[in-house]
Amino acid sequence: TVGCVAVDSNGNLASATSTGGLVNKMVGRIGDTSVIGAGTYANELCAVSATGVGEVIIRGTVARDVAALMEFKGLSLKEAANIVIHERTPKGTVGLVAVSAAGDIAMPYNTPGMFRASATEDGYSEVAIWSE
């Protein structure tokens, strides 16, 4: 699975995700990537793109949950994304990238690693696979 989230300097947000699915999946199987609110979501607070075991991500409405925690509990992007990844989904199954309208970035995952990259207008950038 591949995905990208972006926010411009006016706070406009968007998210996109694309995948071939799971190796050896059944013909006709649909995963999280094309289910809005599961693998992909964006509203006025944040934009989220998830990757991992699609069935887990759909069951957990992962992308929407990040936005909902920000919307209804007033959490920051990082707090919301970490709760969804480290408390609300089984270990070894999910990762996500997300940006907020304020320009924050979150890239948590509960698998051994996740191919990821990020950058901000002030010059910060990162390309990584595993954690430090």
Partner 1 sequence: MGWAIALHGGAGVPYSLPPERRQPREEALRHCLQIGIKALNSKMTPLDVVELVVRELENIPHFNAGRGSVLTNKGTIEMEASIMDGNTMKCGAVSGLTTVVNAVSLARLVMENTPHIYLAFDGAEEFARQQGVETVDSSHFITEENIERLNQAKEANRVQIDYTQPIYNDTKSETETPFANGDSQTG
Catalytic residue list: 1
Cβ-contact 30, 22 below 8 angstroms: no
Contact letters (x/-) for partner 1, 2-41, by CB under 8 A? xxxxxxxx-xxxxxxxxxxxxxxxxxxxxxxxxxx--xxx
CB of 70 to partner 1, least distance (A): 12
Closer residue to partner 1, CB minimum distance, 27 or 74: 27
Q: Out of 72, 74, 87, 125, name the contact with partner 1 by CB under 8 A.
A: 125
83-112 residues in contact with partner 1 (CB under 8 A) are: 92-99, 101-107, 109, 111-112
In Å, what is the CA distance from 98 to each residue of 16, 40, 54, 110?
Answer: 11, 10, 17, 15
CB closer to partner 1 out of 27 and 87: 27
Q: Could you give the CA distance from residue 100 to residue 124 in angstroms, rounded to a whole number?
A: 16
Beta-carbon count within 10 A of 98 CB: 30
Size of site (CB under 8 A) for partner 1? 81
CA–CA distance, 114 with 2 (Å, rounded to integer):
11
In angstroms, rounded to a whole number, what is the distance separating the alpha carbons of residues 46 and 12?
9
- The smaller minimum CB distance to partner 1, of residues 73 and 126, is found at 126
Q: How far is the CB of 85 from partner 1 (least distance, A)?
A: 10
60 near partner 1 (CB under 8 A):
no
Q: Give the dihedral sign, CA 19/22/28/30.
A: negative
